[in-house]
Amino acid sequence: MRVLVTGGAGFIGANFVHQTVRERPDAEVTVLDALTYAGDRASLADIEDKITFVEGNITDAALVDDLASKADQIVHFAAESHNDNSLKDPSPFIQTNLVGTYTLLEAVRKHGVKFHHISTDEVYGDLELDDPAKFTPDTPYNPSSPYSSTKAGSDLLVRAWVRSFGIEATLSNCSNNYGPYQHVEKFIPRQVTNLIDGIKPRLYGAGENVRDWIHVEDHNSAVWTIIDKGRSGETYLIGANGEKNNLEVVQTLLEIFGFDKNDFEHVKDRPGHDMRYAIDNTKLRTELGWEPKYTDFSTGLQATVDWYKANEAWWRPAKEATEAKYAAAGH
Would you call 267 helix, strand, or coil by DSSP?
A: strand
Q: What are phi and psi of 164, to 5 degrees?
A: -80, -35
Measure the CA–CA gap between 328 and 162, rounded to whole angstroms.
44
The yes-or-no answer on residue 185 being catalytic is no
Measure the CA–CA gap between 149 and 163, rounded to whole angstroms.
21
Measure the CA–CA gap between 50 and 87, rounded to whole angstroms.
38
Q: Could you give the residue ranges of the DSSP H alpha helices within the chain?
A: 11-23, 61-68, 83-88, 91-93, 101-111, 146-165, 187-196, 216-229, 246-256, 282-288, 297-310, 312-328
The yes-or-no answer on residue 147 being catalytic is yes
Measure the CA–CA gap between 213 and 106, rounded to whole angstroms.
33
- CA nearest neighbour of 108 among 64, 151, 56, 60: 64
Could you say which of 33, 124, 126, 147 is catalytic? 147
**Residue 161 CA: distances (Å) to CA of 114, 154, 180:** 12, 11, 34
How long, in residues, is the chain?
331
Could you say which of 33, 40, 80, 122 is catalytic? 122
Could you say which of 33, 121, 155, 217 is catalytic? 121
The yes-or-no answer on residue 121 being catalytic is yes
Beta bridge partners of 2: 28
Beta bridge partners of 238: 174
Active site residues: 121-122, 147
